[in-house]
Amino acid sequence: MPRKSVRQSKKTSNRTVEAPAPNTKPIQLAGDVEAIRKEIRAFLQTKDPDGRSIGSSAFGIYAFYDYDGEPIYVGKTCEGLSSRISRHLTNQRTDAVAMNVLDPFEVAEIRVWPLNFHRLEKHQALELLAQAEYTVYQKLLRESKLNAVLNEKPPPKTAAFKLPKDYRGRIIPDDIYPLRKHPDIRIARRANTIASLARVISERKVSKGLRRTLLTQARRLEKLAAERLKDFAGKYEEEGEEE
């Protein structure tokens, strides 16, 4: 008899999928992303006067600055400066990133205030942490040309806090800094962030603070676009003509 061909069909199985072999190469990050992460790690390993890495501080306040030196976000942590900042800037889920409040692409510099609270009772440390956050927040509002940052919720008003030494550093390598700083790139990114945030607001019930953040983003976009337009003062307004 002629042999019948048997068509084998794939069957679903409940068996656990095996992990890759140990020698499997990990997925590589884009070159510029890995370079920026390296700069972040290097900054957080900066030593304080006692020889400790600033990123190892469990308590601290941190702030992000854009390419114009404008403060754009303030945060606090009691879980470690290094881990908290890394979650923000490596697109791991945080409230600010998830809600399209903060675009990590906008961050050119980090500033931190490590706080040595490890010998205090937890409730004392948290009370002083709140005071430090409020003090930094007010300080950065005074620094801002728009008198605003992107935080959805301003910290509650507290007594002033005497801030310790702060550390500030750029996290964008020299070879990619000019491209990232280019105003047309930043205008496009900022417009996209605004559109994403506006969509979030249109689809759910949100706080007044998030709407205030949208307004701040719009003001930041207007300011950057107006400054970019000045670069073309006196040029003929012919379609397609660029510098």
* Residue 16, token pair as written in the block: 């656990």
pLDDT of residue 188: 97
Q: What is the 3-state secondary structure (H, E, C) of 103-172?
A: CHHHCCEEEEEEECCCCCCHHHHHHHHHHHHHHHHHHHHHHCCCCCCCCCCCCCCCCCCCCCCCEEEECC
The residues spanned by each domain of the chain are 31-173
- Its sign, for the CA torsion 127, 130, 135, 138, is negative
In this predicted structure, the answer to whether residue 36 has a pLDDT above a threshold of 90 is: yes
In this predicted structure, the answer to whether residue 235 has a pLDDT above a threshold of 90 is: no
List the beta bridge partners of residue 110: 64, 169
Q: How far apart are CA 129 and CA 61, in angstroms?
A: 8
Confidence of residue 93 (pLDDT cuts 50, 70, 90): low
Q: In the Cβ-directed half-sphere of 115, how many Cα atoms lie within 13 Å?
A: 27
What is the b/e burial string over 170-194, where b = at least 16 CB atoms within 10 angstroms of the residue's CB? Answer: ebbeeeeeeebeebeebeeebeebb
Fold of 31-173: GIY-YIG endonuclease (3.40.1440)
**147-199 pLDDT tens trace:** 999 999 999 999 999 999 999 999 999 999 999 999 999 999 999 999 999 99
**122-146 pLDDT tens trace:** 999 999 999 999 999 999 999 999 9
Q: Please state the length of the chain.
A: 243
> Could you tell me the pTM of the whole model?
0.82
Q: How far apart are CA 55 and CA 227, in angstroms?
A: 36
**How does the average pLDDT of the chain come out, rounded?**
86
One-letter identity of residue 130: A
Question: Are 108 and 172 contacting, i.e. CB atoms less than 8 angstroms apart?
Answer: yes
